[in-house]
Every structure is written in C-alpha cells, then in structure tokens.
C-alpha cells in the first residue's frame, strides 16, 4: 500500500468514511424523505393515544426495504416525546414468531425487564401485561414488525385476537396495533380467522417501492454523512441507485455503499469507483437472502440444504432425502416448503411426469451456491 497521499492513495490511518455508522442496519436516518403521506396517516391513527384513548389500528404493507420499520421508529420516537403515558413496543416477529414470545417482548417493554426465564403460562403473562396497563392508566401501542412471520407459523390470528380483545378481559386496557407486512403476496386480512376479522378493521397504509431518483436522493444524503467529500462522485452514486432500483430494496443500496467504500479502501484508493460497486454488488445483492436465512430453524435449514443439493427434483424425492436427515414427517415437510416459498427462497412448479400425471418440482430462487455458502 502506498503512503503517498499526493498520488491519490490512502495512507494506512486514513479512511474514505466520515462516519461509517450511518450504514449500519439499525441506524435511524435524520431525514426521512418521500414518506410524508404515510407518516401523516399513521400519526392520525396514533393521535388518540396522546389523549389517553385507544388508538386506531393500522396495517402497513410494502416490499422489503421501503422504510416501514423506519416509519415506526420515527413515530414511536415522536409519541414518546409527546407523552409519558404511552408505551410503544416494536416486536420483530422474524425473531419472535409465536404469540408467547410476542407477549414476552411486550412484558419487557412495559416492565423494563424480561419475564421469568423459568416460563410462566401465556395466560399469566397476558394478565400481567394488561393489569399493569390498567393500573398505570397507560396506553400501549404495539407494532408487529414483519408480521408475515407470524402467519408462516400460524400464530397471527391468536396473537391479534389476544391483543384486540384485551379490553374485554381486562376492562380499561387500551391497546392499539400496527401490523407491518413485507410479504407482498400475503393477504393479511383474508388470512386471519373470521373471529379476528370481525374486530380488526385497520387503516391501510402502503409503502410503494422508491423509484430510481428517490433512491439516489436518499442515498446522496447517506453519502454526505457517511463519506468524506468527493469520495463518491455523482456518476458512481447514480450507478449505485441504478443497481438498487433493480430490487427496490434500499437496504441493498446502503450495504452497497458501505462495501464499495471498504473495497476502495482495500485498494488504498481515496475515491470509490464503479468497479468497487460492481465488486461489492456480488455480495450486496444477497442482502435480502441473508436476512431471510437468519431466523431459519434447524430443520428449515436442513431442508433448504437438501433442496439446494437436489435443485429441480420432485417433491417426493426431496422428501425422502429430507426424511433421512431430519426424521420429520410429510406434514411438517410440506409446511416448511410453504414457508420457504413464502420467503421467496424456494419456488415450486408443477410438471408433467411421463405416465404419472402432474408432480411438484422444487427450485431455488437463487443460485444453489449462494444459498449453501450462507447457511454455513
């Protein structure tokens, strides 16, 4: 590595980054452009909470990386600044995909400590959460983020039912619910039990995919905060925006900027070039896949491995292999296939098999290598 800055090279203690943290996954941006109308609707649904009343429920939908979580974080921040009589709890359902663990997170949000690890019954947990709300005369606003995971585990109806009927069991309990789905193919309301449908009439708020110009504007903001001046040219930024617009997931663009910066540093370059973006993209384009794989259980991972090793094979054949490694039965196998399909990792299609009618084939939506290397 050259140490002569005159030649446009970075010395070992220099960095292209001004503040690398702005590219981190949990960074909440100061400016939140292009979401004014969605924020207005959500503020309207939550307004009753500031007056001590039960807020309206809301349903936030939109593809991954379109700012849904950020909107919730901003709103909850505003609400907490406004009043101390409202508890706001965002539950990540990818990590908490059962009714019990959702309520364990609510308990934690309200009491500021975790429920006993020895495990108490759901009824008791539920009772403690609601009693505390009534006792303190507080309102609770719950955001079930990535609620689609509750649907994949068949836990959505029970969870919502408990939240929405809490005031009937504990009179005076005031809870508002925001469900956030990032699965465009999930019909949230249709998939709920009728007993839930009859009490859940949320305000619908849609987060559309940002277009290329919007993406460039948002990323420019990040570049200004995250990189030193003149590290990322307009041409390179536009190139990053173009790559990001292919999926529309802003997370790809943010990851791409950070990785391209690191790649430039590796070359000891003071500027990020297109080739750094190209190199980084080979990893960044899998941001969504990596995130989906994070929360898979052991048997889900096992099945995915089998599918990756038997790309395009028939469902029956894949089952036999899976059964041999996991010992699980066909019903569980089908459930996992459905979940992997909902997650957009696996696709199934029907093919004609000679003389045996139609049969289901399993395919990966990604190159098998990309999946397998991320499961290690």
Cβ–Cβ < 8 Å for 96, 148 = no
96: CB partners within 8 A, 6+ apart: 102, 104, 105
Residue 242 or residue 317: which is nearer to ligand ATP going by CB? 242
DSSP assignment of 34-61, as one string?
T-HHHHHHHHHHHHHHHTTSPPPPEEEE
Q: Does 38 participate in binding ligand ATP (rule CB under 6 A)?
A: no
Structure tokens at 258: 């950070």
Tell me 350's DSSP state.
E
Minimum distance, C-beta of residue 253 to ligand ATP, in the bound complex (Å): 8
Quick one: which segment of 66-74, 105-113, 190-198, 231-239 binds ligand ATP (CB under 6 A)?
66-74
312's tokens:
């395009």
Which of 67/261 has CB closer to ligand ATP?
Answer: 67
Stretch that binds ligand ATP, among 32-40, 169-177, 192-200, 337-345 (CB under 6 A): 32-40
Between helix 287-294 and helix 368-375 the angle, nearest 10°, is 50
Note whether 289 and 340 are within 8 A (CB).
no
Candidates 250-258, 274-282, 295-303, 348-356: pick the segment binding ligand ATP (CB under 6 A). Answer: 250-258
- Should residue 33 be labelled a site residue for ligand ATP when binding is judged by CB under 6 A? yes
Neighbouring residues of 53: CB distance < 8 A, sequence distance ≥ 6: 139, 174
Residue that has been written with the tokens 């007056």 in this structure: 51
Q: Which is nearer to ligand ATP, 108 or 214 (CB)?
A: 214
If binding is defined by CB under 6 A, does position 29 make contact with ligand ATP? Answer: yes
Could you tell me which residues are beta bridge partners of residue 358? 352
Q: How far is the CB of 230 from ligand ATP (least distance, A)?
A: 22
Tell me how far, at minimum, the Cβ of 19 lies from ligand ATP, in Å: 14
Which CB sits closer to ligand ATP, 67 or 115? 67
Give the residue ranges of the annotated binding site for ATP.
66-70, 210, 222
Residues that bind ligand ATP (CB under 6 A): 29, 32-35, 62, 64-70, 146, 182, 207, 218, 250-251, 254
């Amino acid at each position: 590595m050259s140490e002569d800055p005159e030649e446009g090279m970075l010395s070992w203690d220099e960095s292209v980054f001004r503040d690398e943290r702005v590219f981190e996954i949990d960074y909440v941006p100061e400016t939140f452009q292009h979401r004014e109308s969605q924020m207005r609707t959500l503020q309207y649904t939550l307004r009753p909470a500031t007056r001590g009343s039960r807020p309206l429920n809301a349903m936030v939908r939109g593809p991954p990386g379109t700012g849904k979580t950020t909107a919730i974080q901003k709103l909850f921040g505003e609400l907490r600044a406004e009043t101390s009589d409202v508890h706001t709890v965002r539950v990540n359902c990818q990590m908490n995909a059962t009714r019990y663990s959702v309520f364990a997170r609510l308990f934690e949000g309200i009491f500021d400590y975790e429920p006993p690890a020895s495990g108490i019954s759901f009824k008791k947990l539920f009772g403690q959460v609601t009693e505390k709300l009534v006792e303190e005369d507080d309102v609770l606003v719950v955001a079930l983020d990535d609620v689609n995971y509750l649907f994949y585990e068949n836990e959505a109806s029970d969870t919502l039912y408990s939240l929405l009927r809490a005031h009937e069991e504990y009179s005076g309990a005031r809870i508002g619910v925001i469900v956030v789905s990032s699965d465009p193919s999930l019909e949230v309301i249709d998939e709920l039990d009728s007993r839930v449908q009859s009490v859940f009439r949320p305000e619908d708020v849609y987060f559309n995919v940002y277009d290329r110009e919007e993406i460039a504007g948002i990323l420019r903001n990040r570049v200004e905060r995250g990189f030193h001046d003149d590290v990322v040219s307009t041409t390179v930024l536009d190139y990053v925006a173009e790559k990001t617009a292919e999926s529309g997931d802003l997370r790809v663009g943010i990851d791409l900027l950070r990785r391209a910066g690191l790649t430039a540093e590796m070359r000891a370059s003071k500027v990020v070039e297109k080739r750094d973006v190209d190199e980084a993209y080979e990893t960044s384009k899998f941001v969504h896949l990596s995130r989906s794989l994070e929360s898979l259980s052991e048997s889900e991972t096992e099945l995915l491995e089998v599918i990756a090793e038997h790309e395009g094979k028939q469902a029956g054949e894949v089952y036999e292999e899976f059964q041999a490694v996991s010992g699980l039965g066909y019903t569980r196998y089908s459930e996992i296939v459905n979940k992997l399909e909902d997650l957009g990792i696996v696709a199934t299609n029907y093919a004609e098999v000679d003389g045996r009618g139609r049969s289901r084939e399993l395919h990966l939506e990604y190159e098998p290598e990309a999946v397998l290397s991320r499961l290690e």
